[in-house]
Structure 1
Amino acid sequence: MPTSRIPALSAGRRTRCQVMAASAVGLIGLGLVTACGSSSDTDASDGSSSGSVSATAGSGMPSGAMPSGSGMPSGAAPSGSGAPSGGGVGGGDTDCSDAGTPTAAASGAVPENDDADEVASVVKSANAFLDTLSSSEKSSVSNDYTDLATKECTWSNFPDGLFNGRNGLRMGDLTNAQVKAAKKVVETAMSSAGYTYVTEQLNADDQLSSGDDDTTYGQQNYHIAFYGDPSTDSAWSLQFGGHHLGIMVSIGGDTLSLSPYFKGTQPVSYTYEGKTVEAMGDLSDDFFSIFTSMDDDAQSAAELDGEYTDLVMGPQNDTGYPDTEGTAYGDLTTAEQKLVKSVIEGYVADYAGALSDPLVSLYESQLDDTYVAWATGLDTDDNAYLRIDGPRLWIEWVNTDNPGESGIHYHTIYRDKELDYGTGTGDSSSSSSSGS
C-alpha cells in the first residue's frame, strides 16, 4: 500500500490523557483506556469506579480522573528528578481560579519581525468567520485577551466528554459554512506543512469516532475561540483544539506568540483514501535520531533519571520549568545538530513563515545554551521521553501507551518560556534572555 506522511487531505480533529496502565495509577472512572480517554468495559481495572468524568468547575480538569497530585505512578521517578509529579491526569498546577498576570509580554521578549501582511490575512479570515455567526455565537467565541486564566485552563489533550472545559464554539454545533470559515482562520495562520498536520490529526481522531453523533471523538468535537478582537493594531489570540491538538496564536500590534502548541496524534498510523498516513512520522524519525545516533557514552550523558510517563509542562502546567539537564547542543555531532534544528522547525514552522521565522531565528541564536535529553526508552514503538530545553524554547515528546488497539501514540508540546499565550505566564523560573 502506498505510504504518505503528508498527503493532500481535505479538512473534515491536554488536561492530560494519561495512557499508562490504569492499574498502576488507579485511573478512577476511566479503567483501561482503549483510545486516549475512552473506557473499556472488558478491561476496566479493579477498584476503578464507573461513571463519566466531567470538568471540575473552574479547574479545567476532569473531576475524579486521578488522585490529586498523582501525575505519574508512585515511585516512578526519584523526588526532584524533574519527572511529572503534579496535577494528575486531569490537569496541572495552574490556578484556574486566579485571573492571572501578566497582561502583556515582557519588554524585549518579542523578536523583531515583519508580520504585518500575514497578520492582516489572519484578521481577514477571522472577521470572515465572525460574519457567519449570530450575535449569541459571537458572544460565545469572544473572550478578554488579558484573561490569562481562561487561556491556560480551557485546553487539554483529553477529548470532549472527558474534558468539558473547552472554550468557544464546537465545530459540531456549526453549519458546514461556519466550519469551513473557522478552519480557514487556522489554515491562514499556519504553513502548508502545519495545516496538513492539523488536517491529518483531525482525520486521525475520526478513526476513533463512532460517527457524527459522537460527542467524544471526531473532528466535530474541536473548538475555536478568540481572545480580544481580531486586529492588526492590537493584541488578540486564536485558540483551536480538541483531542491531541492545542493551538494558541497571539498576534496583532507588537504581539507575536505561537505557543503553547500541543502537537499529538492517535492513532499514529491509519489508512485514508487508500494511503497510509503518519501525521507525525517524519518528526518522530528526526527527534529519536538525535539520540539513537549517539554512541553509548553520549546516550548515557543525555539520559535523565527516572521514568517519564507524560509531559512535564503539559496542559495546565504553565510554570515551574525543571532545571536544565542533558547534553549541550555544542557537544552534539554536526548531524545531530542538524536534527535538532529540524525538530525545532517541525513545531515552530508549522505556522506561517512571517510568524514563525523570527521565532525560529531567536531559538537558533540560543542553541549554544540549549540542551537535549531523553528518558524511559528510545524505541519509537515503545514508551519514551525526549526533550529540547533552551533559554526560551521548550519542546517535549512522550510516546505513551494504550492497552487497547491504538497502542503507542504521541503527546508533544512546544512552549516559549516568556511568550506563551502572547503575554507569558510570569514564571520566575524561566530565562529572561531574548537573544536579541
Structure 2
Amino acid sequence: MIRKFTASLLLTLLISAIFIRCSRTDDDTTSATVTALDCSSVTYSATATANTAYSGTATVPYTGGNGVAYSAGSAISSTGVTGLTATLVAGTLASGSGSLTYTISGTPADSGTALFAISFGGQSCSLSLTVSGTSTTADCSSSTGVAKVVCLANAFLSTLTSDQQSSVVLTLNLENAKRWSNLPCALSCRNGLLFGDLTTAQQTAALAVIKAAAGTASGEAYDEFEAIRAADDYLNTSGGGSSYGDGNYVIAFLGTPSTTGKWMLQYGGHHFASNITYNAGSVVSITPLHEGVEPHGSFTVNDTTYECPLASELSGVQTMLGSFTSSELSSAKISSTFSDCLMVPGSTTNTFPTTKQGIQVSSLSTTAQANVWAAIQPWINDIDSAQAATIREAYSDELSDTYVCYASNTSATAGDASSFFTTNTDYVRIDGPSIWIEFICQTGVVFSSAIHYHTVMRDHERDYLDLE
C-alpha cells in the first residue's frame, strides 16, 4: 500500500509540474505573435546626426497581436551607418493592432542610413534611421549657407517613413531634373512628396529647408514663395477647384543632400518651380526657375492680404523699358507675338534660340544699363543671397554682352514705366551669355477678365549642369 501510494503521489506531482510548466508558457515572451510588422511606417522621436551622441525611440506598428506580454530584447547593432544599437522595450501586445517601442542609442559613425534588422513574434523587417551630416547641433541653428540647407534636409528626411524617403530622394539624372512645371498638375508632372500628404511636423520641416535655400529677403525669396502658394489657395476657393491649393506643392531631392556630393533641390507647384543644384557645398545652378501668379493684384487668404507677389519683377521690367529712349525702344522692339514664355517646360526642343534679339546692353545709356541690372535682381533674389553670390557675379560680368528685346506693348510710351505690361501678350526678354529671363502677361485662367503673369529664369550654361 505504501509503495502504491508513493508511486501514485509521485505521478500526481509529476503531472502537476508539467501542467504548471505548460501554464507558464502563456506568459513567456516566446508565445508573443503578430501577423505583420510595418517598418515602412516607423516614427522616430529624434533626429540623428553623424558623430553626435544619439538617444531616441522607434515606434513600430504591428497587426495581429495576440495580447501576450513580452520582455525586453537584446541590443541589435546597426548596419550601413554603424555605431547605434536598437533594443526592444518590454510590454504587452494588443489583441490586434498596436506598436512596439525600440530604444536607439549610440553615436552614428557617418551620415546616411542606419539599418536595424528586427524580428518579433514570428515576423521580421528592417528599421531605417536617416543620419544627417555632421553638425554642431542637431537643430541646425549653428549652421549657415549650404551646410544649413543640408542639415535641414536631413532633419526633414528623419521625420519621414521609409516609403516617404524613397519618394522624396530620387536619382539625379536629366529625366528627373526636367520634371518641373508651371501647371496645376501636382505629382503627375513633378517629383517628390505633396505637402498635402505630409503631417504638420513634416511640412514644417520641409518649409524650413525651402526657407534656408530661398533666403529671407523681404518681399522676395521665401516671402514670395509663400505668397504664390497663398494665391493658389485663393484660386482654389474662387472657383478653380481642387487642382489648385498649397497642398499640391511638392519637395524633392535629386541625389542625397550633402556638403560633399552633387544634388538638386526641387520645390514648387502651380506657378512656382525652383531647381537649385549643389556641388561640394556650393550652389552651382539656380535655374530653371519659374514664377507666375494669378490674380496679379492683391488678394486675401485666411485674413492675410497679399499684394502682388511679383511686384518687384513687374516693377523691374517696367522701369527698365521705361528708361529706354524712343530710339532704344525702337531697337529693342521685335515683331513676334508670344502666348507664353519660350523656355517653359514642355518646349518641343527645350533649347535656346541661337540668335539674340533686341538691343545690346552696352549700347544703352548708363541709366538704362543700371536699370537692366536692377531688373535682373528680383529673380536672383529668390535664392539666398550669399549662396547665389558667385552666379550673381557671373551675370554682372556678362551684362554688357546681354540683350533686351520686347514684344507687343502697343500702347507703351518711352519714359512712362506704367505703360508697359498692361495687356495679354505684352512680353520682355533679357538674354545674356548665361542668363535668360522672360516676363509675359497672359489672360487669366480662373479670372478670365484680368491678366496674370508668367516668368522664367534659365541659364545657357548652368541649366541641368553636367546632366546632358
Paired amino acid for 1:207 = Y
What does residue 109 of structure 2 align with?
none
Could you give the per-residue CA deviations for residues 363-391 of structure 1, whole angstroms, max 9, x where no partner exists? 11011110111002153221211010000
Retained in 2: the 8 A contact 1:304–1:373? yes
1:246 matched to 2:273: yes
Q: Using the TM superposition, give the Cα deviation of residue 250 of structure 1 relative to its aligned residue in structure 2, in angstroms.
A: 0.8
- Partners of 2:225 and 2:145 lie apart in 1 by 19
Residue in 2 aligned with 1:382?
423
Aligned partner of residue 155 in structure 1, secondary structure: coil
1:420 aligns with 2:463: yes
Q: Relative to 1, partners in 2 of residues 1:235 and 1:403: Cα closer, same or farther, differing over 3 Å?
A: closer
Distance, in Å, in 1 between the alignment partners of 2:159 and 2:314 is: 38
Deviations 1:163-196 (A, max 9, x none): 8222110011111111111111110001213111
For the pair 1:191 / 2:223, whether they are aligned, the reply is: no
Moved more, 240-249 or 375-384: 375-384
Q: Secondary structure at the match of 1:345?
A: helix
Q: Distance in 2 between matches of 1:408 and 1:241?
A: 22
2:286 to 250, 255, 258: 258
Post-superposition CA distance 1:14-52 (Å, at most 9, x none): xxxxxxxxxxxxxxxxxxxxxxxxxxxxxxxxxxxxxxx
In structure 2, the residue matched to 1:10 is: none
Matches within 5 A, 1:337-348: 337-348=369-380
Shift of residue 322 of structure 1? 4.0
- Aligned counterpart, 1:202: 229
CA pair 255-274 structure 1, distance change in 2 beyond 3 A: closer
SS in 1 for 2:154: helix
1:287 match: 317
Q: Which amino acid aligns with 1:165?
A: C
Q: How many residues align?
A: 306
Larger radius of gyration: 2
Q: How does 1:164-183 map to 2 (within 5 A)?
A: 164-183=188-207
User: Tell me, which stretches of 5 or more residues in structure 2 are unaligned?
Assistant: 1-142, 413-419
1:400 aligns with: 442
Equivalent pair of 1:249/1:421 in contact (CA under 8 Å): no
Cα distance, 1:412–1:385 mapped onto 2, change above 3 Å? same
Q: Is the 8 A contact 1:170 1:223 kept in 2?
A: yes
Contact 2:352–2:460 under 8 Å retained in 1: no
> What is the CA distance between 1:316 and its match in structure 2?
3.6
Per the normalisation by structure 1, the TM-score is 0.67
Deviations 1:64-100 (A, max 9, x none): xxxxxxxxxxxxxxxxxxxxxxxxxxxxxxxxxxxxx
What code does the residue aligned with 1:386 have?
V
1-structure distance, mates of 2:222, 2:307: 14
Tell me the residue number matched to 2:13. none
Q: Does the 8 Å CA contact 1:255/1:422 hold for their aligned counterparts?
A: no
Aligned-pair CA distance for 1:354:
2.2
Which of the pair is proportionally richer in strand?
Answer: 2
Aligned residue for 2:295?
A: 267
Residue identity opposite 2:205 in structure 1? A
2:338 is equivalent to residue 308 of structure 1: yes
Q: CA deviation at 1:290?
A: 1.5
Q: Which runs of 5+ in 1 are unaligned?
A: 1-115, 426-436
**Partner residue of 1:54?**
none
- CA drift at 1:424: 5.9
Distance change (3 Å), C-alpha of 1:126 and 1:235: same
Separation (CA, whole Å) in 2 of partners of 1:297 and 1:342: 21
Q: Which residues of 2 match residues 43-62 of structure 1 at below 5 A?
A: none
Query: Alignment partner of 2:387: what SS?
Result: helix
Instruction: Pick closer, same or farther for the CA change 1:188–1:255 going to 2, 3 Å.
Output: closer
Residue 142 (structure 1) aligns with: 169
* Residues 276 and 283, structure 2, Cα contact 8 Å, conserved in 1: no
| Alignment-derived partner of residue 177 in structure 2 | 151
CA contact (8 A) 1:167 1:224 kept: yes
Shift in Å, 1:404: 5.1
Alignment of 1:74-153 (within 5 A): 117-145=144-172, 147-152=173-178
SS state of the match for residue 420, structure 1? Answer: coil
Is contact 1:256-1:355 (8 Å) kept? no
What is the identity, as a one-letter code, of the residue corresponding to 1:181?
A
Conservation of the 8 A alpha-carbon contact between 1:222 and 1:241: yes
Matched residue SS, 1:355: coil
Distance 1:139 1:275, change over 3 A: closer
- The separation in 2 between residues aligned to 1:186 and 1:315, in whole angstroms, is 22
What is the CA–CA distance in structure 2 between the aligned matches of 1:403 and 1:167, rounded to whole Å?
25
Task: Quote how far apart the aligned CAs of 1:358 are.
Answer: 0.9
Tell me which amino acid in the other structure corresponds to 2:387: L
Shift of 1:270: 2.4
Deviations 1:293-312 (A, max 9, x none): 32332211101122111111
Q: CA RMSD in A?
A: 2.1
AA in 2 matched with 1:382: T
CA contact (8 A) 1:313 1:321 kept: no
Q: Does the CA contact (< 8 Å) of 2:227 and 2:306 recur in 1? A: no
- Measure, in 1, the Cα distance between the counterparts of 2:306 and 2:250: 27
Q: Which amino acid aligns with 2:399?
A: L
Equivalent residue for 1:67? none
Taking the aligned partners of 2:466 and 2:283, their CA distance within structure 1 comes to 8
Q: Which residue of 2 aligns with 1:434?
A: none
Deviation of 1:350 after TM superposition, in Å, equals 1.5
Q: Does 1:228 align with 2:255?
A: yes
Cα shift at 1:274: 5.7
Structure 1 CA distance for aligned equivalents of residues 357 and 185 of structure 2: 35
Q: Name which of structure 1's ranges 225-234 and 296-305 shifts more when overlaid on structure 2.
A: 296-305
TM-score, normalising length from structure 2? 0.62
Q: Is the 8 A contact 1:349 1:357 kept in 2?
A: no
CA contact (8 A) 1:267 1:409 kept: yes
Cα displacement (A) at 1:348: 1.3
Aligned AA for 2:437?
I
Q: Is the CA contact 2:323–2:371 (under 8 Å) kept in the aligned structure 1?
A: no
